[in-house]
Structure 1
Amino acid sequence: MTTKFFDRLSNDLTQLLEDPIDYNVSIEVGKAPNNQIFKVHSYILQSRCPYFKKKFNEIPFNDNHVKALKMSDISVKLFNIIIKYIYGGIISLEKLENSIIFDLLIASNELELDELLEHLQTHLVNNNASWLRLNFTRVYLTSHQVKNFNKIQDFCYDIITKHPNTIFESENFLSLPEDVLISIIKQDDLQLEEIKIWEYVIQWGKAKNSTLPTNLAEWTSDNFLTLKETLKKCLMHIRYFDVSGEDVVEKIFPYSQLLDYQLFLDINSKIMAPNKPISSFVSPPRKISTKTLPARNIPFHLSSQIITVEHALEISSWIDKKEIPYTDSNPYEFELIVKGSRDGFDVKTIYEICDKVSNTLIILKVEGTGEILGGYNPLEWDKNNNEWKKTQDSFTFSLKTANLKISIFSRVKNFKYAIGYYLNESWSSFGHALILRDNLKTSKNSYCRCKWYEKPIRSAEFLSSIHKPPSSDKSTFNVEEYEIFKVSKKNIY
């Protein structure tokens, strides 16, 4: 009988990391001022990690008989998790944010830690699928670029084929790399009408050529040649002979100059004489499921130039006080009732339009920073009384953007001062956390503080230390645009 004392072995090796006796490798991790030096042992790292085995063979010992290595592209937090795994074979994911686990997955792949790579993929797919869906575009693009993310790739392809709007209606669709778009539209089981695939491909191609005229009637032959060149690797994956004759005439013929001459003739022939042989290759029809798939209810009616479907799902989960964000059906309707560029930017305008309206969501796009700030107010707007209103259900937020990986969410904590209505002074507020004053686009009098709500929604450098700071203060801001939605539960029949 063989007895294995792995727990003691793991503990002893971990202690060696904490008290690095006879270390012979120095690894500087991260970038100043958040860098840190780890003193480790080459034999352990080489035996456990192929990346370090190759790396150490390239690096000579210095005068102190130590090999010095710099790893500036990985954070100290991530490396600390990885090095403990290498030494002790132990990792705990329970208290880690999902974004950290995903970054850990990427780092594990770069360090060729196959065992950890498999474990993290399984953990994310089995336990955190909702987060993967909410951050789908980032996850999918990363998995497409990394060959070893097999389980993540399978997860993503399953979602794309069953619910293609997840990617086609995302804010990042037009910036997809060409090879990613091709990998999607070539799928035989993509659950999308062929004419919709054509329209999305055309839309993507136009976005790559911003100088093309908006009005198709103004296009020249050179314009069509430009678009044809952009889409030459995509168009071959469109299954033209599965498009109805009506859609061909209305949506494909206007772009007939993108098609090869013989293909154009054969498409016409199939419409007029369906049984006549043609010379063009006919791809088999896509395997469209006859089974009704669970609806993702992507809300095409979301009339916003600021937030995305994913943002709306996240906000809805906050309204319902869900710990895990909604990822499929949104239980709410978002009805746009005020828009700055349409209705005006003065706070008094908001009071006039929103008076007596409850359950409103205000979204602000901050000028110059790209921040998306806002708040949810369950109470009725009141233009006749100037006072603080009480509620336990309001909250403020800063939504994730290219510059903010995870949204900041802050619920009211001093219920008595949850919402401020002061039309006579031309301002409205969520406590003293988000204050909107005067003209939101020109006066530069709106600002944020950290008072009466759980946490600040802006970084410290953009927080005001006083009430009503001057417009010259760094904390004040204008908005490029704002939108206010009436939020209502969907009717379920």
Structure 2
Amino acid sequence: MTTKFFDRLSNDLTQLLEDPIDYNVSIEVGEAPNNQIFKIHSYVLQSRCPYFKKKFNETPFNDDHVKVLTISDISVKALNIIIKYIYGGIISLEKLENSFIFDLLITSNELELDELVEHLQTFLVNNNAPWLRLNFARVYQTSYQIKNFKIIQDFCNDIIAKHPNTIFESENFQSLSEDKLISILKRDDLQLEESKVWEYVIQWGKSKNPTLPTNPEEWTSDNFITLKETLKQCLPHVRYFSFSHEDVLDKIFPYQHILDPKLFLDINTKLMAPDRTISSTILPPRKILIKTLPTRNTLFLLSSHIITDEHALEISSWIDKKEIPYTENNPYQFELLVKGSRDGFDIKTIYQICDKVSSTVIILKVEGTGEILGGYNPLEWNKVHSVWKVTQDSFIFSLKTLNQKCSILSRVKNFSYGICYSLYESWFSFGNSLVLWNNLKTSKNCYCSDKTSPASYETPIRSAELLSSTFKPSPNKSTFNVEEYEIFKVSKRND
């Protein structure tokens, strides 16, 4: 029988780190005055960390028989945690911010600490899935840049399989790498009809060859060869024998020349004589579950290009004035009413579409800054000349993004000046704290303010240097254009 005294071993090695007698490595991290020097034993680090083993072999001893390393791309906090893990095999993540844990994961991978890389991925997926979804773009991009992030990759692909619009309808779809696209196409549970999968594959292939004519009827044989070569790794993963008669005619037929002639013949043979044997591989149809998938915690189905389901949960929590935000089972449904890129950016367009509609959320993606601003209007939209409306329940906000650590909520405080309508002047505002004017995309008349009288909302939602101190400022750094906007009707779910 073998007895393992790991706890005592861990404690003794941790004590050695705290009292580093006979150390022979000095690692300096950070910049003065916040820099820190770690006194380390090379044999411990070399046995536990391949990265440091290579570093030590490349670094000579100084006159004091100490190897001195300077590391600039790791934070003091991160290295402190990693060194303690290396010595004692112990790590505590509960009090760390999710963004720091994700950065720690990247650092652990750079140091080739495979055990820690797997643990951090598992911790994030099992305990902090809402944060991963909120930061989906960054997480997904990073997971495919780093091959060891298999657990995170699988998490991201599960989301994409259930909510394909997160990728296929995103502005980043055309820049998707081939290996990412193939990993999605391989999914049996991808929740897309096969004809739609085909359309996206063709769209992606065309984006890689922008000189191809728009109309395939104008293509030469060389054009088809070009697209075929681009898609040669993707085409085997399309489920061709799941297409309807109409989709074969409408979707595949115009691009038949990018397929192997025998495959195209087999596709048509199966449509006309289903029982006839063919030589082409028949992939199983995808397991489409859209009709039975839960929709309570899903905003992706709205095809929003600005906000995520976590943003929607946060907004719903503010509507219900919850101190603890919803993390699942959103009690509200978000019905898309207006979208700038689809319906136009003129304020008058919003009035026409939203007239007499109450309980709406407007979401703005600010051009050039990455900010996501918005507000909740509990009142009916009103096509009047100019009028202030009383409300106690409206609020404005700035949502958490990659560039902004926390969301900002600002509730109405001067109820008499909560909402202002003015179709005639092409104006809509939440007091003077968030003002939308004219064409949101081109006129650069939108602005935020907390200084003009009356100050209607509790706190500004933009940084001080971007706030206006005047009424209707001329275009300057405090005014902004909108890259995209969306307006949702928010209502309680019945399910």
What is the TM-score of this pair, normalised by structure 1? 0.79
**What SS is found at the alignment partner of 2:52?**
helix
Quickly say closer, same or farther: Cα 1:365–1:55, change in 2 above 3 A: same
Q: 1:471 corresponds to which letter in structure 2?
A: S
Query: What's the counterpart of residue 474 of structure 1?
Result: 477
Q: Which moved more, 1:331-340 or 1:241-250?
A: 331-340
Query: What's the counterpart of residue 376 of structure 2?
Result: 376
Q: 1:26 corresponds to which letter in structure 2?
A: I
Distance, in Å, in 2 between the alignment partners of 1:15 and 1:405 is 36
Quickly say closer, same or farther: Cα 1:431–1:84, change in 2 above 3 A: farther
Distance, in Å, in 1 between the alignment partners of 2:219 and 2:62 is 66
Distance, in Å, in 1 between the alignment partners of 2:165 and 2:274 is 31
Give how far 1:264 is off. Answer: 2.0
Quickly say closer, same or farther: Cα 1:4–1:236, change in 2 above 3 A: closer
**Identity of aligned pairs, percent?**
59
Deviations 1:33-78 (A, max 9, x none): 9974433324354454332222122122356755443444434443
Give how far 1:167 is off. Answer: 4.3
Distance, in Å, in 2 between the alignment partners of 1:69 and 1:415 is 59
**What SS is found at the alignment partner of 1:282?**
coil
Q: Which moved more, 1:2-11 or 1:138-147?
A: 2-11
Q: Which moved more, 1:281-290 or 1:111-120?
A: 281-290
Query: What's the counterpart of residue 466 of structure 2?
Result: 462
Query: Contact 1:10–1:89 (CA<8 Å) still a contact in 2?
Result: no
Quickly say closer, same or farther: Cα 1:79–1:373, change in 2 above 3 A: farther
Q: 1:334 corresponds to which letter in structure 2?
A: E
Query: What's the counterpart of residue 283 of structure 1?
Result: 282
Matched, 1:27 2:36: no
**What SS is found at the alignment partner of 1:109?**
helix
Matched, 1:200 2:188: no
Give how far 1:259 is off. Answer: 1.0
Q: Which moved more, 1:37-46 or 1:449-458?
A: 449-458
Query: Contact 2:420–2:430 (CA<8 Å) still a contact in 1?
Result: no
Query: Contact 1:121–1:151 (CA<8 Å) still a contact in 2?
Result: yes
**What SS is found at the alignment partner of 2:264?**
helix
Give how far 1:232 is off. Answer: 1.1
Give how far 1:202 is off. Answer: 1.6
Q: 2:239 corresponds to which letter in structure 1?
A: R
Q: Which moved more, 1:265-274 or 1:226-235?
A: 265-274
Quickly say closer, same or farther: Cα 1:28–1:212, change in 2 above 3 A: same
Query: Contact 1:389–1:417 (CA<8 Å) still a contact in 2?
Result: yes
Query: What's the counterpart of residue 418 of structure 2?
Result: 419
What is the TM-score of this pair, normalised by structure 2? 0.79
Distance, in Å, in 1 between the alignment partners of 2:326 and 2:144 is 25
Query: Contact 1:333–1:489 (CA<8 Å) still a contact in 2?
Result: no
Q: Which moved more, 1:94-103 or 1:134-143?
A: 134-143
**What SS is found at the alignment partner of 1:69?**
strand
Query: Contact 1:392–1:415 (CA<8 Å) still a contact in 2?
Result: no
Q: 2:262 corresponds to which letter in structure 1?
A: Q
Give how far 1:332 is off. Answer: 1.0
Q: Which moved more, 1:230-239 or 1:128-137?
A: 128-137
Quickly say closer, same or farther: Cα 1:66–1:360, change in 2 above 3 A: farther
Distance, in Å, in 1 between the alignment partners of 2:71 and 2:84 is 16
Give how far 1:123 is off. Answer: 1.7
Deviations 1:94-132 (A, max 9, x none): 333323222222222222223432332232222223333
**What SS is found at the alignment partner of 2:302?**
coil
Structure 1 unaligned runs (5+)?
none
Aligned length: 483
Deviations 1:1-38 (A, max 9, x none): 97955786477456458xx9967413334xx7997443
Query: What's the counterpart of residue 222 of structure 1?
Result: 222
Query: Contact 1:398–1:457 (CA<8 Å) still a contact in 2?
Result: no
Distance, in Å, in 2 between the alignment partners of 1:399 and 1:214 is 38
Distance, in Å, in 1 between the alignment partners of 2:344 and 2:337 is 11
Distance, in Å, in 2 between the alignment partners of 1:197 and 1:274 is 23
Q: 2:407 corresponds to which letter in structure 1?
A: I
Query: Contact 1:372–1:398 (CA<8 Å) still a contact in 2?
Result: yes
Query: What's the counterpart of residue 253 of structure 1?
Result: 253
Q: Which moved more, 1:76-85 or 1:257-266?
A: 76-85
Query: Contact 1:412–1:418 (CA<8 Å) still a contact in 2?
Result: no
Query: What's the counterpart of residue 488 of structure 1?
Result: 491
Quickly say closer, same or farther: Cα 1:114–1:34, change in 2 above 3 A: farther
Query: What's the counterpart of residue 346 of structure 2?
Result: 345
Query: What's the counterpart of residue 294 of structure 1?
Result: 293
Query: What's the counterpart of residue 98 of structure 1?
Result: 98
Q: How does 1:71-150 map to 2 (within 5 A)?
A: 71-86=71-86, 89-150=89-150
Query: What's the counterpart of residue 335 of structure 2?
Result: 334
Q: 1:435 corresponds to which letter in structure 2?
A: V
Query: Contact 1:441–1:479 (CA<8 Å) still a contact in 2?
Result: yes
Quickly say closer, same or farther: Cα 1:78–1:405, change in 2 above 3 A: farther
**What SS is found at the alignment partner of 1:103?**
helix
Query: Contact 1:201–1:234 (CA<8 Å) still a contact in 2?
Result: yes
Query: Contact 2:364–2:373 (CA<8 Å) still a contact in 1?
Result: yes
Give how far 1:227 is off. Answer: 1.7
Query: Contact 1:394–1:418 (CA<8 Å) still a contact in 2?
Result: no
Query: What's the counterpart of residue 60 of structure 1?
Result: 60
Give how far 1:396 is off. Answer: 0.9
Matched, 1:243 2:243: yes
Query: What's the counterpart of residue 448 of structure 2?
Result: 448
Distance, in Å, in 2 between the alignment partners of 1:431 and 1:23 is 65
Distance, in Å, in 2 between the alignment partners of 1:3 and 1:232 is 53
**What SS is found at the alignment partner of 1:361?**
strand
**What SS is found at the alignment partner of 1:264?**
helix
Give how far 1:253 is off. Answer: 0.9
Query: What's the counterpart of residue 38 of structure 2?
Result: 39
Distance, in Å, in 1 between the alignment partners of 2:40 and 2:307 is 49
Distance, in Å, in 2 between the alignment partners of 1:271 and 1:349 is 47
Quickly say closer, same or farther: Cα 1:230–1:269, change in 2 above 3 A: same
Query: What's the counterpart of residue 184 of structure 2?
Result: 184
Give how far 1:153 is off. Answer: 4.1
Quickly say closer, same or farther: Cα 1:467–1:208, change in 2 above 3 A: same
Distance, in Å, in 2 between the alignment partners of 1:252 and 1:95 is 54
Quickly say closer, same or farther: Cα 1:179–1:329, change in 2 above 3 A: farther
Give how far 1:90 is off. Answer: 4.4
Distance, in Å, in 1 between the alignment partners of 2:444 and 2:157 is 46
Query: Contact 1:49–1:112 (CA<8 Å) still a contact in 2?
Result: yes
Give how far 1:340 is off. Answer: 8.2
Q: 2:346 corresponds to which letter in structure 1?
A: F
TM-align CA RMSD:
4.2
Query: What's the counterpart of residue 212 of structure 2?
Result: 212
Distance, in Å, in 1 between the alignment partners of 2:476 and 2:381 is 29
Quickly say closer, same or farther: Cα 1:84–1:487, change in 2 above 3 A: same
Q: Which moved more, 1:265-274 or 1:416-425?
A: 416-425
Quickly say closer, same or farther: Cα 1:237–1:337, change in 2 above 3 A: closer
Query: Contact 1:317–1:326 (CA<8 Å) still a contact in 2?
Result: no
Query: Contact 1:189–1:286 (CA<8 Å) still a contact in 2?
Result: no
Give how far 1:252 is off. Answer: 0.8
Query: Contact 1:25–1:41 (CA<8 Å) still a contact in 2?
Result: yes
Quickly say closer, same or farther: Cα 1:325–1:149, change in 2 above 3 A: farther
